[in-house]
Amino acid sequence: MNETNESNSMDHDVVLLSNGNNGLDCHCKIPDCNSLIFRADTAPLYKEERKLPLGDRVDTISSFWRLDDVFKFENVTFTKETQTEQGKIKYLACCDCEYGPIGYQNLENQICYVAIDRVKYCQPKIDGNSNS
């Protein structure tokens, strides 16, 4: 596997709310898929350097969205348990097209981390039936 050092080139797309959570909906990056992974104001930004495979390469990623509850996801799938240097994890992928891994779940505490540059960002859709 080739190893690259990813510089979080997508940081300019990341919008944070005043509470530090994601300001935009997070979707699958694959254009023909575009599945909603999780909604705006769901996850705080979390900084930690972690190696994450993608195809035949391994990227070093340092910015993630942290989801403390798997029920905050709209669409995500989990791989089987994998042993890494940093402990047992499950990788996360888009459940519609299986693009990924987009992040991982730490099996010690069940917290999920989604790499900020493995998802794309869209404005939340306004519900047309809202009376506000």
| Domain that includes residue 93, residue range | 2-122
Mind giving me the DSSP string for 38-106?
E-TTS-BEEEEEEEEEETTEEEEEEEEEEES-GGGBSS-EE---EEETTEEEEEEE-TTT-----EEEE
Instruction: Output the pTM of the full model.
Output: 0.85
Q: How far apart are the C-alpha atoms of 75 and 100, rounded to whole Å?
A: 13
Q: What is the mean pLDDT of the chain?
A: 88
Tell me if 79 is assigned to some domain. Answer: yes
Tell me if 127 is assigned to some domain. Answer: no
Tell me if 50 is assigned to some domain. Answer: yes
Segment 82-115, tens digit of pLDDT: 998 889 999 999 999 999 999 999 999 999 999 9
In this structure, what CATH number is given to the domain that contains residue 116? 2.170.150.10
Q: How far apart are the C-alpha atoms of 12 and 79, rounded to whole Å?
A: 30
Per-residue pLDDT of the chain (132 residues; tens, 9 = 90+): 444 444 334 455 688 998 989 999 999 999 999 999 999 999 999 999 999 999 999 999 999 999 999 999 999 999 999 998 889 999 999 999 999 999 999 999 999 999 999 999 999 887 655 444
Tell me if 21 is assigned to some domain. Answer: yes
